[in-house]
Structure formats: structure tokens, C-alpha cells
Amino acid sequence: MPLGCLAALFGIREKPAAARETRVPTSLPLNLKRYFFSRDEKAFFGTLEGVLRDTPYRVFPNVRLDDLFEVQKAAPKGTRNRIQNKHVDFLLVDARDAYRPVLAIELDGRSHERVRQQHRDAVKDVAFKSAGLKLLRLSSRAYRAAELREVLGKELRL
């Protein structure tokens, strides 16, 4: 990438692409998270898998919106930033139809009462509505299988 007129004036040169560091580090400062799910998410996931067991639906947890949605070419600048680094708690897909997404589920706990999180939730709601995928918001708590089957039955053919 060109540095510009001021850089040229002061004799600053960009390293050629081949001279940039391409060395793979031997390690990174990372730790494995102890828990993948919150307690409510874990309970919900287990119940959800049970409810979907003999159906054509499969569930994927913690799906990044960037992997789910494709930003249109004519989209205003910054649209990708609106969905980047955001995820949906659970994505249900139809295994009979090439794993087509059919329903997203977001568990809303206490953090969703904060103003900043409400704004993020509103942006997420707009993203799902714009893409034509239903986002079901449920309270973050344990659900009985019958109760969850009833809720999902309103959205899917179970």
C-alpha cells in the first residue's frame, strides 16, 4: 500500500511484501476458557437437543453473524461492522434442506437489561429481520422439554 506524499518527502519507505514478517509464532498468549456455555445455556442446549432429537432440525451453538449473513455488495460502508464480532446463541438448521437456517434463538439474561446491550440487541434484531430469518428471544433460564417443544412448535414443524 502506498505511503503517500509526506512519506516520500521524508524518505520513508514501506517494506516490500516479501520482506514483511511471515514467521509463524511458536506460541500465542492464550488460555482455554473453562466453560463454553453459561449454566442456563448448557441446560437449554441439552433440552433443545432432546426436543429436536427425532426431527430434521439440528442445532449449532454460538454462531457468528458474520458466518451466517452475507453483506450485500451495495450495502453502506460500515454494515459489516454492525454484525462483526456478534453471535447468536443457537441456530437451528433443516438437515433435509442442505442445513438451511430456519430459526435463531437468543437467551436474554440480566445483561440484556443494560442500555448498551439493548442497543446491541436492537441492531441484532434488525440484522435478522433484514435477512429474513426469525430470531426468537427467550428468557435465560431452564426449560422443560414439553415447554420448549410448545414454544418451538409455534415456529417449526416438530
Find the CATH number of the domain harbouring 141.
Answer: 3.90.1570
Question: What mean pLDDT comes out for the span 87-107?
Answer: 97
Does 136 map to a domain?
yes
DSSP code for 20: S
pLDDT band at residue 47 using 50, 70 and 90 as cut-offs: very high
For residue 143, give the nearest of 116, 107, 115, 117 by alpha carbon.
Answer: 107
Task: Report the domain count for the chain.
Answer: 1
Instruction: Say whether pLDDT at 6 is over 60.
Output: no
Cα Dmax for the chain: 73
Mean pLDDT of the chain: 88
Does residue 30 lie in a domain region? no
pLDDT in tens, 103-157: 999 999 888 788 888 989 999 999 999 999 999 999 999 899 999 999 999 999 8
pLDDT at res. 75: 82
Of the listed ranges 3-12, 59-68, 77-86, 96-105, the least confidently predicted one is 3-12
Pairing state between β 100-108 and 87-94: antiparallel
What is the extent of the structural domain holding 66? 39-153
With the C-alpha atoms ordered 130, 131, 137, 140, is the resulting torsion angle positive or negative?
negative
